[in-house]
Amino acid sequence: MTAPFGARLVEATAKRGRLCVGIDPHPGLLDAWGLPQDASGLERFALTCVEALAGEIAVLKPQSAFFEAHGSRGVAVLERVIAESRSAGALVLLDVKRGDIGSTMAAYGSAYVGDGPLASDAITVSPYLGFGSLTPAIDEARRTGAGVFVLALTSNKEGASVQRAVGADGRSVAQAVVDEAAALNVGADPLGSIGLVIGATVGETGLDLSALNGPILAPGVGAQGAGAADIERVFGGRANVLPTTSRDVLRHGPDVAAVRAAALRARDELSVNA
């Protein structure tokens, strides 16, 4: 039986630090690395990232869309990224942001946290068809010991109109998401496996996170402007926060050693507030 994701995350971050690095084969980065805009360029980019990062960094976060854009060959590369990253000891958080209902959500769960070739240690999901719509994927994640990170308060400017809206019970939509996630983590030790996504650049969240007992993915470190001080300001030094960066590390490629060194610098800079 695989240990629950929350427990595996605590162990991984104790050994490797709490940084999460995105593997984002953005067309601009492929150009910057001198790689072609095709599946061969994608493969060289992604596997270079795995070589540079998977042996040192606790969590890697491939962005599924950039792989899917290359069709079946791109998805085949994603399968290799997941398998080789996990083999090297990194946890893989697949950034898919799926959100649907019923059998469709169950199929997403089977695809990404089930037993197939795209199965990852955790995924991102969207609760905006109602938190309960996530149940099939969450149930599958619990069966396999995977984690689920639910979008709560994101850094894109469009998100605030929905996420900060206040319902009839006086809670913001984001707080309602927090409370639903917290209820699923009750009693988990050392940490629950249902996490949240809260942007590192959102400023004052207005959220009560005290009962969460789960991890928080905090994208926005580096190129988007957030640093260690922002992580401290937004999250108050909570130990279960995973600061996330991608372009600020990946721009140092295609040299493997340079990418690895940039990731380790970012990890060490953030460790002062861990």
The residues facing 93 across adjacent strands are 122
136-140 long-range Cβ contacts below 8 angstroms, 24+ apart: 136/102, 136/103, 136/105, 136/106, 136/109, 137/98, 137/105, 137/106, 137/108, 137/109, 137/112, 137/113, 138/109, 138/184, 138/194, 139/109, 140/106, 140/109, 140/110, 140/113, 140/114
Name residue 187's amino acid.
G
Verify whether residue 97 is a known catalytic residue: yes
Supply 162's token pair: 């929905």
Supply 213's token pair: 């007992």
15, 61, 97, 157: which one is catalytic? 97
> Which positions are catalytic?
97
